[in-house]
Structure 1
Amino acid sequence: MNKDYNIGVFDSGLGGITVLKEISRLLPNENIIYFGDTKNVPYGEKTKEEIQALCERIVRFLFTNGCKLIVIACNTASIAAYEYLHKISPIPIVGIINSAVDSIPYNTYKEIGIIGTPFTVNSGEYPRKIKEKDENLKIYSVGCEKLCPMIEKGWENFSDRRVILADYITRIPKSAEALLLACTHYPLILNDIKDIFEGDILDPGEECAREVFRTLKANNLFNPKNEKGKIEFYVSGDKEIFQKKAQEFLGYEITRLFKVNI
């Protein structure tokens, strides 16, 4: 496999750009293809089988377009499809769930909160994996049905956004010392979350980038070229909405953005 092939990053929509930002910061020489399935967002309301079918099409698209490693930058997709994709993919797969669990500084907190999509929370995957590392850590999980769709449509367009966000976060006891963002969309509204939650905020994006680094190293797949990598964006839905929001967060103009039907 060519070492100058791409890192593929995909999400149900916009959220995975928070992970892409960390990957491009840590690995600036790598070429990256980002796919946002904006036509089918949100994934959190779909069945496991539906999510697996969508993810399989995306992985095949990324592999066909010259990817050497794929990152599932979506918690819901990672829970529903990581094991399935790992079995069928001809290239390494990195899932955000393991990175998120590893991003928790263990033996630091007694209680933490978790917010994510209803699918992510109802799966019970986070408490199960966290308890394997610290069985005494008390965990409070809240499924946030409205947040992902609101962020995709434009968070600032909802006058009641802070009331809705506060309703979810205040379901977590004040005794919780940290809040794990178990949806990659949530760092896009980080300032509002910080205004409501008084403890530490745990964003797994940076740890996911480190896992990508370790996976490339283990497979001898680092891009040897000493030049800034190229980033291409693909979406299955509206290009303009995605472009506006992504540019605001990433802080640069996106010129290579394509709509595809897979």
Structure 2
Amino acid sequence: MKIAVMAGTPIDTNMGAVLLEKNGFSENEIIRIPVSENPVKQTIFQTSETEYKEKVINGHIDNIKKVDCNILFVYCNSLSGAVDFEKLQKKNDINIVTPMQVYREIADKYKKIAVFAANAQGLAGIENAMFKGNSNINITGMTFLEIVKEIEKGTLPEVIAEKFHFGKLAEYLKNLGNEAILLGCTHFPYIENEIRKKSEMEIIDPSQKMLEKLK
């Protein structure tokens, strides 16, 4: 079985591939598809016209189907929020797993939740998905493209935590009454342990539920 891992940049595409390898998939089964070279170009892509975005993604889907791959694992929150993958799944008769599917399912478990996203495109997609699952949910949304850039550069997690004041941030979100922090960017598991050190709130990483859907 071949699986295509699609993400915004080569870094998070590789993160998705490594996640699959750690969970029993062989390197030979995985096709890597980074849509852009870096986070800034990916944000530009996500804010481009719908027709253009769909043309690019459809082109990638056509290519993987030529090598008998019928599963697309979208390991990028903002990308899955900026492109209608449900529409493309029906059009191309292909199985697609995205973080948005997970958010819709878990939304009814929370009254108030903080969402860490890479950019506003990703945040809007997550908000839309969660409201479909729970119209009464209250979302504290925050975007951190600068943290994504630091992760792409390989900056140590503890350095990122200090630079962006994780302790003060966690205290602020807790005082607002949030029950959990949702890692709404597939780069952010890189800093998950540092967030846990500073916060008593539940930390939600959608990756495991995405793997369940894949399996």
Q: Structures share a fold, TM > 0.5? A: yes
Partner of 2:89: 86
- Deviation digits for residues 136-175 of structure 1 (CA, Å, limit 9, x no counterpart): 3322111112121221111229956533263765653432
How big is the shift at 1:84? Answer: 4.9
Worse-superposed segment, 184-193 or 154-163 = 154-163
How big is the shift at 1:39? Answer: 1.5
Determine the C-alpha separation between the residues in 2 that align with 1:21 and 1:100: 22
The 5 Å alignment of 1:214-229 reads none
Secondary structure of the equivalent of 2:164? helix
Q: Provide structure 1 residue ranges, at least 5 long, that are not aligned to the other structure.
A: 214-262
Q: Provide structure 2 residue ranges, at least 5 long, that are not aligned to the other structure.
A: none
The count of corresponding residues between Structure 1 and Structure 2 is 205
How big is the shift at 1:184? Answer: 0.5
Structure 1 position 189 matched with structure 2 position 185: no
Partner of 2:116: 115
Quick one: higher RCO (CA 8 Å, sep 6+), 1 or 2?
Answer: 1
Question: Which among 53, 61, 70 is matched to residue 72 of structure 2?
Answer: 70
Partner of 2:147: 147
TM-score, scaled to structure 2: 0.78
Question: Which amino acid in 2 is paired with 1:10?
Answer: M
Structure 1 position 15 matched with structure 2 position 12: yes
Partner of 2:156: 156
Cα 1:178–1:88, aligned 2, differ >3 Å: closer, same or farther? same
Answer yes or no: is the 8 Å Cα contact 1:8–1:69 preserved in 2.
yes
Partner of 2:29: 31
Answer yes or no: is the 8 Å Cα contact 2:3–2:29 preserved in 1.
yes
Structure ID, larger Rg = 1
- Deviation digits for residues 5-27 of structure 1 (CA, Å, limit 9, x no counterpart): x1111111222444444444555
Determine the C-alpha separation between the residues in 2 that align with 1:128 and 1:40: 25
Partner of 2:104: 101
How big is the shift at 1:191? Answer: 1.5
Identity %: 21
Worse-superposed segment, 82-91 or 93-102 = 82-91
TM-score, scaled to structure 1: 0.65
Question: Which amino acid in 2 is paired with 1:139?
Answer: I
The 5 Å alignment of 1:46-61 reads 46=45, 47-49=47-49, 51-61=53-63
